[in-house]
Amino acid sequence: MSDRAIVIVGFALVLVATIGAVAVTHVRRDLVAPVGETIAYLTRTRAARMAAVLVWAWLGWHFLAR
């Protein structure tokens, strides 16, 4: 298996896990907080929002800028 194929499979697994997590939050709201609420909780402070933007920029630069 080539490196490219491994990366594609990895991204596909992340996508499937994300869709699964969103589905679980819709079915069991008492068990798991919705994704939007989780992100809002994690980025409630200015420092956390700045860190999220920096991580997002780093990921974009390293994985999407080709």
**Averaged in consecutive runs of 10 residues, what is the pLDDT profile of the chain (66 residues)?**
87 92 83 82 93 89 75
Instruction: Provide the residue type at 33 as one letter.
Output: A
Domain with 55, as residue range(s), is 3-64
Instruction: Identify the residue whose tokens are 């699964």.
Output: 20
pLDDT at 51: 94
Helix/strand/coil for 60: helix
CB 32 within 8 A of CB 25: yes
Instruction: Identify the residue whose tokens are 């594609």.
Output: 8
Q: Report the distance separating Cα 30 and Cα 41, nearest Å.
A: 17
- pTM for the model stands at 0.52
pLDDT at 19: 92
pLDDT at 66: 62
Q: Name the domain count of the chain.
A: 1
Query: What six digits make up the tokens of 59?
Result: 């990921």
